[in-house]
A and B are shown apart, each in its own frame.
Chain A
Amino acid sequence: MDKAKSMVDKKGASGPFHVNNGQSQKVFHSHVMVATNGSCCSSSSNAFGSSTVPSGSGTFENMHHLHRGDDAECSGSPAKRCKLRRRTESVRKHRPPFPWFGMDIGGTLVKLVYFEPVDITAEEEQEEVENLKSIRRYLTSNVAYGKTGVRDVHLELRNLTMCGRTGNLHFIRFPTQAMPRFIQMGRDKNFSSLHTTLCATGGGAYKFENEFRMMADLELLKLDELDCLIRGLLFVDRVGFNGHPECYYFQNPSDTQSCVKKPCTLDNPFPMLLVNIGSGVSILAVYSENNYKRVTGTSLGGGTFLGLCCLLTGCETFEEALEMASKGDSTNVDKLVKDIYGGDYERFGLQGSAVASSFGHMMSKEKRDSISKEDLARATLVTITNNIGSIARMCAVNEKIERVVFVGNFLRINTVSTKLLAYAMDYWSKGQLRALFLEHEGYFGAVGALMELLKTTEDP
């Protein structure tokens, strides 16, 4: 594929797993809140190399200039000012000051939810600092931020009431690799002057805590990722997806022809086995909003799928890997029961079409030499998915839970895996277990973090 074209193509859709092709220097182009004309602090131009704003992708100049003005105002002791204002405002309104963010910094992706108030009064608008206004405009008027930041517009929750305010909840993601630049941007734009509490969860909340403090004068409110995940999930399920259910399952999972996606509700969600597939996998048994345990986890997750795909096929993004997988045939790579036994292994009730050995055919050099990248991608996807299904099923049986909810960004635009999980749960449990999925897959941690922001400030 033409390189330049691919870069452009990837914008908007891709990003989370962007891998540099090594042709140029780091080509990170997170323009979320970053000035690119070299007028900000000297280190940033080094950090971002030769990047310039690709035409049409950045609406940042505007914001940058506004920001600079703000910077000038805030020179002195921004931290002190910030604290002061935060206190006065929260006392006045019993709710946290805008902007409202919830952030989940995972191993591969940063998930950001942003609440855009739509009930802003004229008076409020008047009072709103330019800085804040520009953030709102920037985030809501773009769907892509730089090369790798993406807003999942189709997931936007509209006219949501949170903490007495009505607004839209936006879902944004960018690669964790971009964190240092994100933090630097926070400093450059004097984010700390916005006197907001930045609620963050995921491992990155711990990993980047110091950098937030040192670089951007921002104190993170660190939150446990599993607490956030559950709280966020239950909230989104409760409010629904713009009038539709958040949850869905597959009808006739064992029949590829008649297998169809069906919406459903999690009316009585407990107990549920919650399988969160990010870079790695965590499996939780959830008995109520506050009562859950982490049953186990596995390191074979989304990161493994993409990591192996990159090594095996030379692909660079999750989207690319999935695209290849959708065209491949894993039976050229995997050894099936029938490849060994000529048919079913009746002694143990194993169907001939069951996979006996993932990548088993690849023990043979001839087959290795003749295999396509698409087949390899597909086999990787099927292997990882089946394995997660298998562990999840065992956990469900051990924990005596019949409802298995799969979430996490591994499932994003990944119908191969969702259908396979639905099939595996159904087939191996002889219909006892049902696999459920949620539309907002990987964003629940971030939503949970946002809710914590609203909760903390509501409490006296």
Chain B
Amino acid sequence: MGFKITRARILWVIFCSFKDEMTAATRNQVLSLYMRVFRIARGWQSTLPQNTEGERQYIVREAQTLFRQNQQLTDTESIKKCIDECVARIEIGLHYRNPYPRPIHLPIMGLATQKGRKLKAQQRMRKQANPVYLQSHDEDS
């Protein structure tokens, strides 16, 4: 069948009041991506059969949380970044048959030294090293 499944997160524009053309187009794009993720989750087959159900639920849950989290963004740049994140996760997940995002290592000298002076530069470095598919995740874990 060739039914590829990936998860993607999409940034969701505020529903209601924007009359702007650009926002309507992104809104439709976001909604169709959301629907696409759900369709993917419906037909998801994992590499190990016992994980199929768990991964399906993970896909749905992840999409719901991330879309809700980014629901209120309004500036077009961050919206576009979220759309890119969603598409990236969809493609990567479909390709590797793995819905979970791949965490990355810290960049070299990426955490503050004992004296704490390099904090801002390191924050910038970590932010820059963050791949596109991990944009919505915090740095906690």
Tell whether A pairs with B.
Answer: no
Chain B interface residues (CB < 8 Å from chain A): none
Chain A interface residues (CB < 8 Å from chain B): none
